[in-house]
Each structure stands twice: as C-alpha cells, then as structure tokens.
Chain A
Amino acid sequence: MALNDQSSNEAVLKAITANRLRDGEVIFLAPGPDLRWVERLDDAALFEDAATDAALAAAKAQAEGEQFAVDVYAFDLRVADGQRVPVKTRERIRALGPTVRIDLGKQAAA
C-alpha cells in the first residue's frame, strides 16, 4: 500500500526506482494499481518496508517483461517537512542530477 507524506515524518520509507530502457532516464513507480512510472521522486509511491517486496516484484515483472525499464530496485528515503530525501547520496544524486552541474538533470527543471 502506498502512503501519503503526512503520515510518515521521520520514518524511513521506500520508493521503487529504475532506469527507462529506451533512454536511461531515472524513473520511479507511481502510486496506484496500474504500475505507472514517473520521472520525479515527488510523484513516486512511498512504501512501508513490509509492503515493498510485493510491489517491487510486481514492478520488476511489468517493467522487465515489457522491456520498459532495467535495474528495478527499492531504496530508502525520509520525509521531513514534506521533502523527500533519499538516505544515500547515490539516490539523492539520481533523483536530482550531478552535484557539480546543477544546471543539468532533474534539478535543472525543478
């Protein structure tokens, strides 16, 4: 089950991410039963730890089965003051873009 942000201050949640096959773009699994993918972390579904495995398996099956995405996996993030902040630097950089070129990547369009 996907959660909304307000219910989850401080707690570590998970989001599901991948790279889109045809262009490599970083994508995130969106909320809802139809297994849609979005390009911004703010629009991603968030999961409690226990619910992640089933969602991940479904997302993998869909994304890989349909040649839509590769490297599907879940990562940890925290929500503080409505901001979603991945725990690891790697995932922060994937969600935003290179720290040395803030004119490029998702952060540039923000």
Chain B
Amino acid sequence: MNHIAPGRNAGVYSYDDIDRRFVAERVEQFRAQVERRLSGELTEDEFKPLRLMNGLYLQLHAYMLRVAVPYGVLTSRQLRKLAEIGRKYDKGYGHFTTRQNLQFNWIKLEDTPAILHELAEVDMHALQTSGNCVRNVTTDQFVGAARDEVVDGRVYAEILRQWTTLHPEFTFLPRKFKIAIMGSDADRAAIRVHDVGVFAKRNERGEVGFTFYVGGGLGRSPFIGKLIRDWVPEEDFVAYLEAILRVYNQYGRRDNIYKARIKILVHELGQEKFTREVEEEFARLRGPKYRLAPEIVDEIRRRFGGPAFETLTDEPESFQAAKAANPDFARWVAVNVLAHKVPGYAAATISLKPAGGIPGDATSEQMELVADLADAHSFGELRVSHVQNLVLAHVRQDALFTLWTALEANGLGTPNAGLIGDIIACPGLDYCALANARSIPLAQAISARFADPARQQAIGELGIKISGCINACGHHHVGAIGILGVDKKGEEFYQITVGGDPTLTTAIGDILGPAVTADETVDAIEAIVEVYLSNRHDGERFIDTLKRVGHGPFKERVYAAH
C-alpha cells in the first residue's frame, strides 16, 4: 500500500525540526519528572498536575493516557502508531473521546516516557489533554470538507494549539479550559457549551474575524455560552483570548472546585461586567506584541498543504448504480455520507457504534484497517469526531462502494451516524475513578434494542448521550435524550433528560422524572421513541415534536407503570 508522508498535501499540519525538538524535549522533561516522583523528590500532590498536563490519569484499574489528536485531525501513519502502542503497551484497543482524542486504559506509569517517545516519532504527544490548562482545541470533524464552510478552522485551532502550549501565565488556571472553533454557520462542535466557543467568519470584504461565546459548559451547573463580542478581527484573535484568560486566571474562583470554571465567573460577575473586564484587558493587550500578523496565519496555512483534488462531477454513474443495486450501501450513504465542497467527493463517517458495542472503542486491527483505507481513499488523512466516530473526509464518490465494502466486512459499516444508535457515552464506572454509575452497558443495551438499521433510519435524527456522573463527559445535558448515572445507596440509577441540543439552537435538557434502573431506562427510551413516532408531523425531528407537544405525553408514558 502506498503510504503518504504525513503533513504534505494531506491537510495535516506538518511539523518541522523546531516542533519536533520541542516535543522531544517535553518527553525528556516528563521522563525526569517520573524519575523524580519514583525517587520521592516529587510528592503525589506535586506530581499529579504534572502528569495530568501530559495526559496521564490514574483510573480504577491502571493509568489512563489521553493522546492528543489536535482538533481531531490525524494521518494514517499516526493512526498506525496508535494501533501499535495499543498492542504494545495496552490491551490491543483504544477509546476515542468527545474531545476528539484517544485514550488508552491500561497504561503503566513506568512505560509512559517510552510511549510518549514513540508518539513523538510520528509528531504526536499527550500535551495538555488534562490539567487546569487550555485543553485540546476541538472543531468540526468535516473541517476543510464541508460544503457550508466559510473559514478553515484548522488553521486557527493550530495557532491556538501552539499559542497555548506551555503558556507561562495560563498553565495553572483555576480549572480546565476548553475551546472549540467552527468555521461555518452550522454548529458541529457544540460551540456554546465550551469555556470559549468561537465562530470564524468573513465580513463583506472577505476578511476573517471571530465571534466569541464565553462561559458555556456542562458538568454540575450547565450554562450556555454568552456572546461577548460579535467581531474580533483576525489580527486580534490571540490578544482577545489572552484577555479572556487573564481575567479568568485572576478572578476565577479557586476556593471551590465545583465553582472554578469560567462559566461560574461569567455567571457571578454577570455578562456585562465580565465583558467589560475582558474589553479593558484587551484594550491594554492590543498591540504589536500580541498581534496575529497575516504572515503568521499564512505560514501556518501553508504548513497544512491541502489535498490535491481532481476535477470530478457529483453522482458518477458507478456510484448511482451501486446504490441502486445495494440497498444496504444506499442506506449507509444516506445516513453516514455528507456532501463535500468539491464536486465528486464526499465525507464518510465510520461509525464506532455497532449495535451492542462499546461507543468509541476501536481495536488496533480496526485502526490499522482505517489507516489503510485513509491511504487508499482519503489522502492518508482522517478525523476523530466529538461524537466518537472516525471520518474519512475526502473520498471520491466512485470509491465509496469499495470503502463501504471493506468497512462492512470488518464491523465498521454501521449506518447510524446521528441516529439513535450513535450514542455518546463516557467510560463510566467500568473504567473511571470519578464515575458513580456505569455508562457503557446502558449504551450497549440501547443500541442492541434499536439494532435494526431500517428502524433507526425511520426514527431519524436523535442523539442519546450518557454520562456516568455529574461531570458530564458524556454531554448528557445536550442530548436530545440525555442519561445521567447516579448512585443511590450503592445501586446504579439513571436520570433521563429530554430536549437538549448541542447545535446553534443550544438547549440544556429537562429532567423527565425520577431516576430509574438500567433495565427500566432502556424501556423508557423505547417508550419515548414510540410517543414521538405516534405524534410526529411530517419532517419533524424528535426535538421538534418534543417542543410542539411538550413533555407531558412522554412523561406520562415513561412513568405509566410506576
């Protein structure tokens, strides 16, 4: 198979020697930190933030290493390395996360410097995937491919990645800090539930600028991000973020971990006063030192290269014929394939949510297969989506059938992107030290109950999101149906919310009623779906029907037996 070199022309930021030297130095720095911990020079209290800033958690069974996939984009070569690490240092699999990263669950502390060294060989790292610093910036999984794209968010996400790496002032913030950026009018990155959510757009002169939402977040106290500025010119992008972070670092609460996120600061100061503080800081910072000059942007953009698209036309004959001849393929295309900005191409979602499977998990063999398919069909480049799937973003439409055939043969052809089986679930109590209840078994039971692809397609767009504790890593607040695991005297119970929405029309779901057992939850989901289907008007999605008829009928049916 023809392996495309990373970076060049693949649409992935290509490292140079300086980037490589930095990551190599960071690996050696961590190696020394591990040695100082093992020798007792560093206490656990001192070491913990340092290991977290290298993505290393201590979970229930072992250490967990969260490898950064910056803004969810990686090369086939990088994915192969992840597969290899999974086999060599873990148990042959990895878990793709809602921050577009990859987690290994069975890592030894003493192996970690060697793993980071291997990652550095393919220009990867685990920097700032945890800790009270600026985390991996996320974006649209269809960036650079979507037909509705106005600005390529990767370029600005990479600028932020660099700018926030070991930022001397903002590495010990009150709490973690998550930024998401979108470059189109649609929201596929849950912008308004981030600490900072940014829409990149263009003015009438074609210049790039940014709309800033601040103070969104899920967790114990969910908040929707507030608009604090509609237009920040490109050259002020970094200065404006510095201003937000400085206000947060200085005034964010440090007395209570549950009130330390920026959402609480924005809430307590009020939108107006917070905005004023940021604007004052921005006025002082604005200037040559923090100016994002056009040459910087151009240089970063150049380092991405870009796929060399061919001149093709949409809906080639062979593609149409394959759809006509094979209804399963046609269904997969209808559900998992998105129109591309370049005629003749398409973006294909590879579902990591087989019926009854563990959401987001992929074996080393599956990763290698996807890497091969990325080489064959998508310029050696692929993406991780925040809904825990993989994406081949630039597939020729006349190659989709070949791609699907290979995916289908390896359990990766599930046609459920955006449907009821495409469940987001955090690792939950099966792995996570913070969880109160398991998430994965419930996701498995629900996706098994709705295994029939035709039924899923008939139900239509419906996102189920499951969290195993109030930290909300499974984004349950913004699930059309959200499920939160709680512990009641040692028993696992699940609280159901409905009406959440992570898109432009952001909404936090409402609690439907008292928490129920796992088995009852699966029945409740089925009841909710039945009420929806029997009330639905033509073309209505689940959340549309819910909005129109209210919670009453749903609540009544779910709790009828109680």
Contacts and interface: CB of A to CB of B under 8 A. Distances in A.
Do A and B associate with each other? Answer: yes
Contacts of A98: 61, 430-431, 440
B444 A24 contact: no
Interface in A25-84: 25-26, 64, 67, 70-71
A97 B492 CA distance: 17
Interface residues of B, number: 31
Interface stretch (B35-43, B289-297, B396-404): B35-43
A21 interface: yes
Contacts of A67: 37-40
B60 interface: yes
Contacts of B39: 67
B61 A24 contact: yes
Contact of B440 (A64, A87, A94, A100): A100
Nearest to A87: B490
Contacts of A97: 61
A21 B490 contact: no
A92 to B, nearest CB: 10
Interface residues of A, number: 24
Nearest to B490: A88
B37 A89 contact: no
Where chain B touches its partner, the secondary structure class is: mixed
Given A24-B62, A67-B40, A99 B108 contact: no
A67 B36 CA distance: 11
B106 interface: yes
A95 to B, nearest CB: 10
Contacts of B38: 21-22, 67
B58 A24 contact: yes
A22 B444 CA distance: 33
Nearest to A76: B490
B30 interface: no
A85 to B, nearest CB: 12
A19 B58 contact: yes
Contact of B429 (A19, A93, A101, A104): A93
Nearest to A97: B61
B109 interface: yes
Given A67-B37, A99-B430, A22 B44 contact: no
B60 A26 contact: yes
A10 interface: no
Given A67-B38, A67-B40, A93-B429, A99 B438 contact: yes
Contacts of B61: 24-26, 94, 97-98, 105
A68 to B, nearest CB: 10
Most buried by B among A24, A93, A97: A24
B108 A93 contact: no
Interface in B393-434: 429-431
B358 interface: yes
A34 B110 CA distance: 26
A21 B60 CA distance: 13
B107 interface: yes
Given A21-B38, A22-B108, A99 B441 contact: yes
Nearest to B439: A100
Contacts of A64: 44
A22 B110 contact: yes
Contacts of B111: 23
Contacts of B435: 90
6 contacts: A21-B38, A24-B62, A88-B490, A89-B437, A94-B60, A97-B61
